[in-house]
């Protein structure tokens, strides 16, 4: 039976893999510190698990060693399922950060310990011990005790001890973390040499990307228990898929722009989209660009026209690193662009770009042109919806949100606001029940205090594609936040770059959409955003223009309606144009929406500063207040 199982697993993994982790899960409380980690490490490979402290990397190592048990998943070593095998029988060497040299034993006794346990003859033990002392470069120190050795020497002993019984696998948990830089470099070389010579499969855990680069055949980046990316050091550095990997592996400038017209747009800078058939870029999608310091070109004079230029900036920070000088430049803000890395200090409005120059290059005092020599587009992050539904009425909003999430292929975050700290738990319970009732998978964010403030903060801190505000009647006993009134919605909308969906009425699907170009200057954004959503929803669109009852439709409006229709056609969205004369646009919109059985009104948020013909924001306010169905407010700034 053992044989047949072995064959099966070998067949499964081709017999090449030294270590196979299959969907490993380990819970800590109700949090997965190792979350479905699957990994294959080849024979003789030195694999480095790289992650910040608390990322779960050491836990993975301890799972492999058998020091803790996974809650789910399998560990296969050389074709043998060892998931249930105790650590003693896994035949692995383990090196700890704190060396863990047995203090009452000499170096020799420490090294021989594994052999003694295995009842190896004394003469054989001595031979092996001498070999290992030689291997780790500690000849002559066999009779010392741990307290007579330096940290580096102790770690060499630990390495020798772990290798003494010729394990199949060597596991190292931050082995150089407690050593100073010089010793660390020496030991890395020693480790690499030994690993190469013995051809032993090794997994090393570290938080130090330099160490990972230097040692690893392959690196696995781990964050919050999830193995994000695996790859060769150079590949991961140059072509990471996620922003986390990009920023974790070295200095990075990561910016978020939008796809427009088949290009990745960062303000005025347009870059070609990568020719990656697996990713279907759509206009309006977010796109992330990674620029490594060495890919930035600085020049005093304006670069030639075909060179992608970010702008002109000044040096705000610099640090001397021997042969190089690290620089941070501040450039003017690019409209519609958000910065992920470097993390901007609070209140920073400009764009920050990190770069590096040779130390002997003189630094100019004036503004410097910043352009790109090369760049890398990261994998577009999943779309995200932020739901705030204080009424927690389960009949409409969550059902509609689920429908939206499915249509937009988005993940949902629900914001719950408690009035006091004591209120947090009831609100959490309440919302969980609410989500369960609608069968809506979502992440819960619970906050205390002012709803408006938290919504704005949440929006600025994370990248959401849509903010969903429930405006239904409350049926719950626990308030999960203040109900959004018109003024609050206005204030949220004022600073928002995210479209806001106010859920009203009883529709749980949005298949009839009314896009209003009410004000004399119909926004391009309203049409684009509404159109893109309509395409996703498979909805029918009516473009509404409320004309002056006396003057009729102006030439400008006419041209604009034509352009809007063309845009929608380009998006493959069925649309009609309706012109409705009314002295007050709001009344017109509400009348059409009421009689036309629409599910959604799309309206621009032109803000109070726009001197609209019929009184700009007042229209928005009236529509928000009186609309019989849901309303989508599209901000000016949104692309």
Using rule CB under 8 A, residue 162 touches other proteins: yes
Q: Is 5 helix (H, G, I), strand (E, B) or coil?
A: helix
Interface positions, 248-267, toward other proteins (CB under 8 A): none
Q: Compute the least distance from the CB of residue 178 to other proteins, in Å.
A: 12
380's torsion region: left (phi>0), alpha (psi -120 to 50) or beta? Answer: beta
Contact partners, residue 453, CB within 8 Å, separation at least 6? none
* Cα 589–chain centre separation: 40
Q: Compute the least distance from the CB of residue 86 to other proteins, in Å.
A: 8
Q: How many residues bind other proteins (CB under 8 A)?
A: 29
CA dihedral 75, 213, 296, 373 (to 10 degrees): -80
The interface region with other proteins, picked from 37-45, 70-78, 86-94, 612-620 by CB under 8 A, is 86-94
- Site track for other proteins across 203-222, x = CB under 8 A: --------------------
Q: Compute the least distance from the CB of residue 206 to other proteins, in Å.
A: 17
Interface positions, 18-77, toward other proteins (CB under 8 A): 62, 65-67
Supply φ then ψ for residue 50, to 5 degrees: -115, 130
**Among 10, 36, 52, 91, contact with other proteins (rule: CB under 8 A):** 91
The token pair at 183 is 């010793």
Using rule CB under 8 A, residue 94 touches other proteins: yes
Using rule CB under 8 A, residue 13 touches other proteins: no
Q: Compute the least distance from the CB of residue 626 to other proteins, in Å.
A: 59
Q: Compute the least distance from the CB of residue 406 to other proteins, in Å.
A: 44
Using rule CB under 8 A, residue 92 touches other proteins: yes
Residue corresponding to tokens 């390495």: 159
Q: Compute the least distance from the CB of residue 145 to other proteins, in Å.
A: 11
Using rule CB under 8 A, residue 165 touches other proteins: yes
Angle between helices 524-537 and 397-408 (to 10 degrees): 90
Using rule CB under 8 A, residue 237 touches other proteins: no
Q: Compute the least distance from the CB of residue 98 to other proteins, in Å.
A: 6
Q: Which is nearer to other proteins, 166 or 436 (CB)?
A: 166
Query: β-pairing, 46-50 with 201-206?
Result: parallel
CB neighbour burial string for 198-227, b if at least 16 within 10 angstroms, e if fewer = eebbbbbbbbbbebbbebbebbbbbbbbbb
Using rule CB under 8 A, residue 85 touches other proteins: no
Using rule CB under 8 A, residue 96 touches other proteins: yes
The token pair at 35 is 């979350």
Using rule CB under 8 A, residue 98 touches other proteins: yes
Q: Which is nearer to other proteins, 135 or 500 (CB)?
A: 135
**Among 2, 3, 29, 104, contact with other proteins (rule: CB under 8 A):** 104
Long-range contacts of 442-445 (CB under 8 A, 24+ apart): 442/387, 442/411, 442/412, 442/413, 442/414, 443/411, 443/412, 443/413, 443/414, 444/413, 444/414, 444/416, 445/413, 445/414, 445/415, 445/416
CB 408 within 8 A of CB 464: no
Q: Which is nearer to other proteins, 114 or 484 (CB)?
A: 114
Write the burial class of residue 487 (CB in 10 Å: 0-12 exposed, 13-18 middle, 19+ buried).
exposed
Using rule CB under 8 A, residue 88 touches other proteins: yes
Using rule CB under 8 A, residue 100 touches other proteins: yes
**Among 56, 70, 93, 499, contact with other proteins (rule: CB under 8 A):** 93
Picking from 342, 337, 340, the residue whose alpha carbon sits closest to that of residue 355 is: 342
CB 437 within 8 A of CB 444: no
Q: Compute the least distance from the CB of residue 166 to other proteins, in Å.
A: 12
Using rule CB under 8 A, residue 570 touches other proteins: no
Using rule CB under 8 A, residue 113 touches other proteins: yes
Using rule CB under 8 A, residue 80 touches other proteins: no
Compute the distance between CA of residue 393 and CA of residue 477 in angstroms, rounded to an integer. Answer: 11
Return the HEC string of 412-463: EEEEEEECCHHHHHHHHHHHHHHHHHHCCCCEEEEEECCHHHHHHHHHHHCC
Q: Which is nearer to other proteins, 113 or 213 (CB)?
A: 113
Using rule CB under 8 A, residue 424 touches other proteins: no
Using rule CB under 8 A, residue 160 touches other proteins: no
Q: Compute the least distance from the CB of residue 67 to other proteins, in Å.
A: 5
Binding site for other proteins (CB under 8 A): 62, 65-67, 86-94, 96, 98, 100, 102-105, 113-114, 117-118, 158, 161-162, 165, 171
């Amino acid at each position: 039976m053992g044989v047949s199982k072995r064959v099966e697993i070998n067949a499964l993994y081709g017999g090449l893999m030294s270590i196979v982790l299959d969907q490993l899960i380990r819970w800590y409380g109700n949090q997965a510190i190792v979350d479905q980690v699957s990994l294959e490490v080849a024979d003789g490979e030195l694999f480095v698990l790289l992650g910040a402290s608390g990322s779960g990397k050491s836990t993975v190592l301890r799972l492999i060693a058998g020091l803790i048990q996974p809650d789910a998943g399998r560990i296969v070593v050389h074709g043998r399922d060892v998931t249930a095998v105790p650590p003693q029988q896994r035949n692995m060497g383990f090196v700890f950060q704190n060396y863990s040299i047995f203090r009452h034993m000499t170096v020799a006794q420490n090294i021989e310990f594994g052999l003694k346990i295995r009842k190896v003859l004394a003469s054989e033990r001595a031979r092996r011990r001498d070999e290992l002392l030689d291997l780790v470069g500690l000849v002559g120190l066999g009779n010392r005790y741990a307290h007579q050795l330096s940290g580096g020497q102790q770690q060499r002993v630990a390495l020798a001890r772990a290798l003494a019984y010729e394990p199949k696998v060597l596991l190292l948990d931050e082995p150089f973390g407690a050593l100073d830089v010089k010793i660390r470099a020496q030991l890395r070389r020693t480790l690499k040499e030994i690993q190469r010579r013995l051809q032993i499969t090794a997994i090393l855990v570290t938080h130090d990307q330099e160490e990972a680069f230097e040692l690893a055949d392959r690196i696995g980046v781990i964050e919050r228990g999830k193995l994000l990316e695996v790859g060769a050091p150079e590949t991961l550095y140059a072509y990471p898929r996620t922003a986390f990997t990009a920023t974790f592996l070295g200095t990075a400038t990561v910016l978020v722009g939008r796809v427009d017209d088949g290009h990745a747009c960062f303000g005025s800078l347009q870059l070609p989209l990568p020719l990656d058939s697996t990713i279907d870029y759509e206009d309006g999608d977010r796109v992330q660009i990674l620029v490594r310091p060495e890919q930035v070109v600085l020049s005093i004079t304006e670069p030639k026209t075909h060179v992608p230029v970010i702008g002109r900036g000044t040096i705000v920070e610099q640090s001397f690193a021997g042969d190089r000088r690290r620089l941070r430049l501040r450039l003017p803000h690019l409209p519609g662009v958000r910065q992920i890395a470097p993390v901007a200090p609070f209140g920073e409005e400009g764009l920050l770009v990190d770069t590096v120059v040779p130390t002997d290059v003189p630094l100019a005092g004036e503004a410097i042109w910043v352009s790109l020599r090369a760049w890398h587009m990261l994998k577009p992050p999943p779309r995200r919806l932020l739901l705030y539904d204080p009424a927690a009425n389960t009949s409409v909003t969550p059902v509609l949100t689920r429908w939206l999430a499915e249509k937009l292929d988005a993940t949902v975050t629900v914001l719950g606001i408690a009035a006091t700290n004591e209120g947090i738990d009831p609100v959490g319970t309440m919302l969980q029940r609410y989500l369960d009732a609608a069968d809506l998978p979502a992440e819960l964010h619970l906050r205390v205090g002012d709803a408006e403030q938290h919504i704005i903060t949440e929006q600025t801190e994370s990248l959401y594609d849509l903010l969903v505000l429930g405006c239904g009647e409350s049926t719950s006993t626990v308030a999960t936040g203040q109900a959004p009134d018109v003024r609050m919605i206005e204030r949220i909308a004022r600073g928002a770059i995210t479209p806001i969906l106010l859920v009203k009425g009883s529709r749980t699907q949005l298949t009839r959409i009314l896009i209003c170009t009410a004000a004399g200057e119909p926004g391009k954004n309203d049409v684009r955003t509404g159109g893109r959503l309509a395409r996703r929803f498979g909805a029918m669109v009516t473009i509404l223009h409320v004309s002056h009852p006396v003057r009729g439709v102006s030439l400008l409006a006419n041209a604009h309606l034509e352009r809007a229709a063309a845009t929608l056609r380009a998006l493959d969205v069925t649309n009609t144009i309706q012109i409705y004369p009314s002295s007050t646009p709001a009344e017109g919109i509400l009348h059409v929406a009421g009689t036309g059985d629409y599910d959604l009104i799309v309206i621009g948020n032109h803000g109070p500063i726009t001197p609209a013909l019929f009184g700009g924001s007042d229209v928005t306010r009236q529509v928000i207040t009186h609309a019989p169905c849901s309303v989508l407010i599209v901000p000016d700034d949104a692309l």
